[in-house]
């Protein structure tokens, strides 16, 4: 179980295939800096990010949440 009060350690989001430097920069501006945060995004949050960043369907098309989960598992 992840401690929600623990400080967030930044991850290398460039390890997620299909995530370009501009998208990573925009996510960091929204204080999304870790695989855990990406995995925990709700579908509503994902829809809002995709609309704001003008990247429709990218989370699903590139399986960003799945990739983030796999990268978290590799780190353990």
Which conformational region is residue 62 in: left (phi greater than 0), alpha (psi within -120 to 50 degrees), or beta?
alpha
41 located within any domain: yes
Could you tell me if residue 58 is inside a domain?
yes
pTM reported for the whole predicted model: 0.88
pLDDT, average across residues 62-75: 95
Does the structure show a pLDDT above 80 at 55?
yes
For the segment 62-74, the average pLDDT, to the nearest whole number, is 96
Q: Which range among 6-10, 57-61, 63-67 shows the weakest confidence by mean pLDDT?
A: 6-10
pLDDT for position 4: 62
- The separation between the first and the last C-alpha atoms of the chain, rounded to the nearest angstrom, is 12
Full domain range(s) for residue 43: 13-75
For residues 75 and 12, what is the distance between their CA atoms, to the nearest angstrom?
A: 12
| Cα separation, 30 vs 51, whole angstroms | 14
pLDDT in tens, 6-45: 788 999 999 999 999 999 999 999 999 999 999 999 999 9
Work out how many domains the chain is built from and give that number. 1
* Residue 46, domain member (yes or no): yes
Contact predicate 57/50, CB 8 Å = yes
Task: For residue 3, tell me if it sits in a domain.
Answer: no
Residue 25 lies in a domain: yes
5 within some domain: no
């Amino acid at each position: 179980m992840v401690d929600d009060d623990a400080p967030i350690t930044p991850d290398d989001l460039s390890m997620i295939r299909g995530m370009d430097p501009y998208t990573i920069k925009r996510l960091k501006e929204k204080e999304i800096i870790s695989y855990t945060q990406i995995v925990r995004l709700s579908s509503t949050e994902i829809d809002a990010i995709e609309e704001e960043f003008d990247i429709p369907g990218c989370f699903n098309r590139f399986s960003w949440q799945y990739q983030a989960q796999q990268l978290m598992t590799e780190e353990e």
